[in-house]
Structure 1
Amino acid sequence: MELRQIQYFVAVAEELHFGRAAERLHIGQPAVSQQVRRLERELRTQLFDRSGRTVTLTPVGAALLPEGRELLKALDSFTAKAQQLAVRSEATFRVGISSALGERLDDFLDALPDRGAGTRFEFQTLDAPTRLAEVRAGRLDAAFVRGVESAPGLRFLTLWYDPLVVALSASDPLAARGRLDLADLAGMPLRIAPRGENPVLHDTVHAACRTAGFEPTFGPPSTGLQDTLADIGAGAGGWTPMYPTAANTVSSRRIALLPLNGEPLTIRMFLALRENADPARLELLTATSAQVRRKVAAETQRNRHG
């Protein structure tokens, strides 16, 4: 018995006409008739009554029709599953990242559901505008971006909220407090990248300072986190905001990292995808985003109350 014989049987049973069944199957009528007769010989019973002017199902044929449909349905499911697994086993997911993701990238990969197993990731470290442009052009499948909530042709999934910490000289009297109010930093030079290089961070910190009741005093622009920290630790003074994921890179005992009191100064991290992203991949990444968001939120709450 062959599966195509079951397929031909079901087609004839539904059409009750060998010619229409052949047209539906895109094969010649003799082939359909031949295979159905072979199936009947294999089963040692008649499935169709051909004695009249029309084709009708015998009682056995009528009883077997639901079973035949279930077999074909199972075959379709088997084929679709095999194709999905083949695609996933060979899939490469190209992702744009920043250099300050740290352990959050591990959190994202850990949060992938089992159906994401087998996906091979390729990461490219690029500036934020380039990351978005590459996703839009299809050269990247997704990108981690901070603060950008919308852009033409793209959709954004919220991953987590980064509560910024403050880095300042360990010799500064403020370093002994353990935690700071943002207003404590009024009058101290703010070391931050020029707005053109990081508008999200620049505008977020600037707006928070205004809300805290002061205009920030800008020191020399930050040309790189490690250089800025070295200047501050060597006595140049000032402060700089940092993502918590970058805190593990600070090894100098001359630098103190302090969280802020009250509502944390946060910047949202998104995963940017094309608007017409593959539905299965979108479903996978939506589930991943929700999982990592819950994990980071719980971790942030523990740190605030720990």
Structure 2
Amino acid sequence: MELRQLQYFAAVADTGGFGRAAERLGIVQSAVSQQVRRLERELGVTLFDRSTRHVRLSSAGERLLPEARAVLAAARRTRQVAADIASGDEGLLRLGTVQGPGDRTYRLLDELRRAAPRLRVRLRRLPLTERLAAVRSGELDAALVRAATTAPGLELLPVWRDPLYAALPEDHPAAAPHGGGPDSASALAPTGAPPLRLDQLADLPLRLAPREHNPPFHDLVTGALRAAGVEPPLGPPFTTLQETLTGLAEQRADAPSWTVFYEVTGLPPVPHVAVRRLAAPELTTSLAVLPGPPGPPLRQLLQALRA
């Protein structure tokens, strides 16, 4: 059974004759008659009662006509869905994500919904190595990654930059927003306060997670320290942000130290700890994709990122 046979069947039923159906379809009458005959032989029923004066639907034809129309409608929907998928207006985007800052991800998803409301987005949060491996294997269409500068077999497209922050004891000279005393316990620098330079922290032990926990971020920080010409002593390792800031506050008197972090869910206030924005480096988030022309869902994502 062919779609065109069902189309010819419906056209004859609509127009009441083979000749008129042929005119509507823009083909010769014999082609319409031939294809309807073939359909009748395949189905094993007579679809039309034919006479020299009239062509009417048979009882079998009346019963089968709604089914034929449903098949034709489904075929039209299938073509439309395929066209929407090809254009990126519909389909599935599989995106690997990072933890926070959530507002960027939410804005990106909102832009995608506005541009392609029928495009479904499936988010997956995986460790960095698994995230990149999933893009290489085709399990993910793309993945957001932080601080990475290389990813073998993949292309990294920078999409946004975020500042890094230093947390240090409130009574350290660098904690003062304008060179005076600390402005308040657990305070963030007021708007307009100059960012800290890394050399201002050279005398304080640095709490930094071991490289194997997050190689790109570790390399970003240590590379920036080398570029600034400073090599602060190592303090206790960074664990979680809350634990590290709490330890920093508790040990500020006998073992002062500092740490560096990026914002995930807001800058946490901790008594006796000052948080200051760093002048450098910045944290770059990139989109990891396979080399070559992007598929339709990925094209929509790139357009949303540009917007």
Shorter chain as denominator, the TM-score bin is: 0.5 to 0.7
- Structure-2 change in CA distance of 1:235 and 1:201 (3 Å): same
Instruction: After TM superposition, give the deviation of residue 208 of structure 1 in Å.
Output: 1.4
User: After superposition, where does 1:116-135 map in structure 2 within 5 Å?
Assistant: 116-135=116-135
- Structure-2 change in CA distance of 1:94 and 1:253 (3 Å): farther
Instruction: After TM superposition, give the deviation of residue 269 of structure 1 in Å.
Output: 0.5
Residue 186 of structure 1 aligns with an amino acid whose one-letter code is A
Task: Give the TM-score normalised by the residue count of structure 1.
Answer: 0.63
For structure 2, the residue ranges without an aligned partner over 5 or more in a row are 1-9, 13-20, 36-74, 178-188, 190-194
**Equivalence for 2:238:** 222
Instruction: Find the aligned partners of 1:7 and 1:84 in 2 and give their Cα distance.
Output: 25
Secondary structure of the 2:213 match is coil
Q: Does 1:191 align with 2:207?
A: yes
The aligned length equals 231
The one-character-per-residue Cα deviations of 1:9-49 (angstroms, maximum 9, x if unpaired) are 3xx6xxxxx8xxxxxxxxxx9425879xxxxxxxxxxxxxx
Instruction: After TM superposition, give the deviation of residue 132 of structure 1 in Å.
Output: 0.6
**Equivalence for 2:156:** 156
Instruction: After TM superposition, give the deviation of residue 198 of structure 1 in Å.
Output: 1.3
Which of 264, 277, 301 is equivalent to 1:259?
277
- Structure-2 change in CA distance of 1:194 and 1:100 (3 Å): farther
Q: Does 1:209 align with 2:252?
A: no
Instruction: Find the aligned partners of 2:90 and 2:113 in 1 and give their Cα distance.
Output: 17
Contact 2:92 2:297 in 1 (8 A): no
Instruction: Find the aligned partners of 2:299 and 2:206 in 1 and give their Cα distance.
Output: 42
The one-character-per-residue Cα deviations of 1:260-279 (angstroms, maximum 9, x if unpaired) are 34xx3112101223346752
Instruction: After TM superposition, give the deviation of residue 113 of structure 1 in Å.
Output: 6.2
- Structure-2 change in CA distance of 1:138 and 1:79 (3 Å): closer
For structure 1, the residue ranges without an aligned partner over 5 or more in a row are 13-17, 19-28, 36-75, 292-306
**Equivalence for 1:288:** 304
- Structure-2 change in CA distance of 1:77 and 1:274 (3 Å): farther
Secondary structure of the 2:288 match is strand
Residue 270 of structure 2 aligns with an amino acid whose one-letter code is S
**Equivalence for 2:250:** 234
Instruction: After TM superposition, give the deviation of residue 126 of structure 1 in Å.
Output: 2.0
Instruction: After TM superposition, give the deviation of residue 258 of structure 1 in Å.
Output: 0.6
- Structure-2 change in CA distance of 1:92 and 1:233 (3 Å): farther
RMSD: 3.4
Residue 108 of structure 2 aligns with an amino acid whose one-letter code is F
Instruction: Find the aligned partners of 1:109 and 1:257 in 2 and give their Cα distance.
Output: 30
Instruction: Find the aligned partners of 1:252 and 1:137 in 2 and give their Cα distance.
Output: 43
Instruction: After TM superposition, give the deviation of residue 284 of structure 1 in Å.
Output: 0.8
- Structure-2 change in CA distance of 1:126 and 1:78 (3 Å): closer
Instruction: Find the aligned partners of 2:76 and 2:153 in 1 and give their Cα distance.
Output: 33
User: After superposition, where does 1:1-306 map in structure 2 within 5 Å?
Assistant: 2=11, 5=22, 9=26, 30-31=30-31, 80-85=79-84, 91-112=91-112, 114-177=114-177, 178=189, 179-236=195-252, 237-246=256-265, 248-261=266-279, 264-275=280-291, 279-291=295-307
- Structure-2 change in CA distance of 1:134 and 1:91 (3 Å): same
Instruction: Find the aligned partners of 1:84 and 1:149 in 2 and give their Cα distance.
Output: 36
**Equivalence for 1:51:** none
Instruction: After TM superposition, give the deviation of residue 184 of structure 1 in Å.
Output: 0.5
**Equivalence for 1:22:** none
* Percent identical: 35
- Structure-2 change in CA distance of 1:85 and 1:214 (3 Å): same
Instruction: Find the aligned partners of 1:31 and 1:83 in 2 and give their Cα distance.
Output: 29
Instruction: After TM superposition, give the deviation of residue 286 of structure 1 in Å.
Output: 1.5
Instruction: Find the aligned partners of 1:252 and 1:108 in 2 and give their Cα distance.
Output: 31
Instruction: After TM superposition, give the deviation of residue 287 of structure 1 in Å.
Output: 0.9
